[in-house]
Amino acid sequence: MRAYAIETAAVADAEVRKLMRDPTELMSRAVQPVLWLAIFGQVFSQVRGIPTGSLRYLDFMAPGILAQSILFSAIFYGISVIWERDLGIVHKILVTPAHRSALVLGKAIAAGLRGLVQAVVVYGVAVATDVDIQWTPAGVLTVVLAVVLGSCIFSTFSLVIACIVKTRERFMGIGQVLTMPLFFASNAIYPLDLMPGWLRTIALANPLTYLVDVLRGAMIVGGASVHAWTTSFAVLLGVFLALLALAAHLYPGLAR
Amino acid sequence: MSASAELFAIATSGLSKRFDQLKALDALDLGVARGIIFGLLGPNGAGKSTAIKILTTLLDASAGSAQVAGFDVANEPVEVRRRIGYVPQLLSADGALTATENLNLSARLYGLRGAERVARVRDALTFAGLDEVADKLVRTYSGGMIRRLEIAQATLHGPEVLFLDEPTSGLDPVARHTVWDRLLELRRSRGMTILITTHDMEEADVLCDELAILHRGRLAAIGSPAALKAQVGPDADLEDVFAHFSGAVMDQGGRFRDIRESRGTLQRLG
Ligand SMILES: Nc1ncnc2c1ncn2[C@@H]1O[C@H](COP(=O)(O)OP(=O)(O)O)[C@@H](O)[C@H]1O
Ligand SMILES: [Mg+2]
């Protein structure tokens, strides 16, 4: 499987190079978490409208905002794939003998690295707004793993959507329609206990919920995860592998 | 390898493709001898790109079969992919990467490693005449430079068969000639079989050893440029041949989608 690893690394390498040449893109994605933490978080902390146990609301929501920023930046990964299709880049890649899943995995890994950049930004904002960050090695390492895996999931999900809709216009529409429910039908900014039963059921099937749950325990002093980390990581990994298989199956259709 | 596979780099039998009601390719029987430059001619919408996409394993045929470099495109696509290069009709070089980075990506995906990869990439840059600008972003290149890069990128693994879909459309005359030079060199020095689509008769005349004219998905004529001209009349040129067999004057007809696809793509990198 050495060939598979080389192919994956080749795609990831090219993607990361392109990413590093586009700092405005990275920066513009940083604006949203600033607004959420610095404004929404501050106001809701004052109101005390959402019961979050012993945690301050700001500490409660910071992991949710990290997860959100990962979701929002990864979900538009599909746009770049559609762009590559409108040129002929996808065609050129697909006539090589490389494994289709390696091509897709390479993109996911690049998205994972980009998610880490996003995490650094959110940590910066969190520190500035006095969120009580847990700086233990185990905590930080867990956050790193969760951020990479979460970015892989949502970027690959985005790729699957791109392979289905194939045009930029339709993708933009669908991207909006999907990200908002994913975000609100999760535990990102309020606890699951507050939700009506039907919504809680949806939230429990939403991978974002497991990502936020891991982050909440790992990132914040005094934060607690509802599910065991092994459970959440197993769920996230399972979702990613399923999406990867689906994306590898659909990706060649982009060249038709 | 069967006898026909030794003789033919590309062989199709009853190759067909439908898009809903439209027969984009209709029972195409084709044999392309090894080591020649073969031109697939036809007006916009004739089915040229569809044929190339099937032969390069990007698209599944609706009926019929095709062998490329001795392997079946439907049943042994990976074996076919190892032995072919493809320059799409659209721009395939990545404008946000340098020439070196573009070449390295392809080289790795074709399984080239270590010192061999480095050497092949270096040779490819020289072949494309891009040594000086190897580390500049491709989006700063001219159309001709990009096309040469794409040809280098599609051949750095030493394919037996190279497919090019309208490689010179949108290029100025000087750039066109440098592309032709590269293709003639690939045939001469490496014995590569080259299949090129075009609706440019000068290009067909200068470059191709053999031509096929497609019309609405069907093979309308096949033969050497000289033989085809002789069929049409004593003083016929290729324009006459084309008009005779495709029932169309060049650059006329074709649906909007086809015209949009074949024009202006070279400006896309901005
Ligand atoms: N993906 C597709 N879906 C539907 N129709 C298509 C598709 N691709 C090509 N066609 C149609 O098939 C016909 C042949 O197209 P194409 O092979 O691109 O022609 P050419 O390359 O000779 O201009 C055209 O009528 C075109 O509109
Ligand atoms: Mg075409």
pLDDT band, residue B257 (cuts 50/70/90): very low
pLDDT band, residue B5 (cuts 50/70/90): low
pLDDT band, residue B214 (cuts 50/70/90): very high
Average pLDDT of chain A to the nearest whole number: 92
Note whether B88 contacts A92, CB cutoff 8 Å: yes
pLDDT, greater one: B200 or A82:
A82
Residue B252 CA, ligand 2 centroid: distance in Å = 14
- The residue to mutate among B49, B163, B242, B250, having the most atoms of ligand 1 within 8 angstroms of its beta carbon, is B49
| pLDDT exceeds 70 at position B267 | no
Angle at A216 between CA A212 and CA A221, to 5 degrees: 165
Residue of A86, A97, A252 with shortest CB distance to B110? A97
Burial (CB count within 10 angstroms: exposed 0-12, middle 13-18, buried 19+), residue B19: exposed
For residues A202-223, give the mean pLDDT.
96
State the Cα–Cα distance between residues B21 and B66, nearest whole angstrom: 22
Min Cα–Cα distance to chain B from A97, Å:
5
State the Cα–Cα distance between residues B62 and A9, nearest whole angstrom: 35
Q: How far is CA B202 from CA A178, B106, B181, B260, in A?
A: 52, 31, 14, 22
pLDDT tens, residue by residue, A57-112: 899 999 999 999 999 888 878 999 999 999 999 999 999 999 999 999 999 999 99
Please tell me the predicted confidence (pLDDT) of residue B3.
Answer: 57
Query: Between helices A2-20 and A100-128, what is the axis angle to 10°?
Result: 40
Please tell me the predicted confidence (pLDDT) of residue B114.
Answer: 94
Question: Quick check: B92 and A88 in contact, CB under 8 A?
Answer: yes
Residue of A22, A92, A256 with shortest CB distance to B59? A256
Q: Could you tell me what percent of chain B has a pLDDT over 70?
A: 90
| pLDDT exceeds 60 at position B205 | yes
Note whether A96 contacts B97, CB cutoff 8 Å: no
Please tell me the predicted confidence (pLDDT) of residue B265.
Answer: 43
Residue B50 CA, ligand 2 centroid: distance in Å = 7
Instruction: Tell me, rounded to whole angstroms, the distance of Cα B87 from its chain centroid.
Output: 6
Min Cα–Cα distance to chain A from B115, Å:
15
Please tell me the predicted confidence (pLDDT) of residue A55.
Answer: 87
Closest CA to B199 of B58, B46, B91, B50: B46
Identify the residues whose C-beta falls under 6 Å from ligand 1: A 256; B 19, 22, 24, 42, 44-50, 255, 257-258
Residue of A7, A18, A88 with shortest CB distance to B89? A88
| Partners of B195 in the β-ladder | B38, B163
- The atom number, within ligand 1, closest to the CA of B44 reads 23
Which residues in chain A touch residue B265, judged by CB atoms under 8 angstroms apart?
87
ipTM of the complex: 0.92
- Tokens 């979702």 sit on residue: A239
State the Cα–Cα distance between residues B217 and A133, nearest whole angstrom: 65
Note whether B110 contacts A96, CB cutoff 8 Å: yes
State the Cα–Cα distance between residues A121 and B246, nearest whole angstrom: 61
pLDDT tens, residue by residue, A3-30: 999 999 999 999 999 988 887 877 777 7
For residues B179-207, give the mean pLDDT.
94
| pLDDT exceeds 80 at position B140 | yes
Structure tokens belonging to residue A34: 């600033």
Please tell me the predicted confidence (pLDDT) of residue B248.
Answer: 55
State the Cα–Cα distance between residues A69 and B82, nearest whole angstrom: 40
Grouping H, G, I as helix, E, B as strand and the rest as coil, residue B210 is strand
| Partners of B198 in the β-ladder | B41
Note whether A18 contacts B94, CB cutoff 8 Å: yes
pLDDT, greater one: B189 or B253:
B189
| Partners of B193 in the β-ladder | B161
For residues A109-123, give the mean pLDDT.
94
Min Cα–Cα distance to chain B from A124, Å:
29
Nearest CA to ligand 1 atom 4: B19
Nearest CA to ligand 1 atom 6: B19
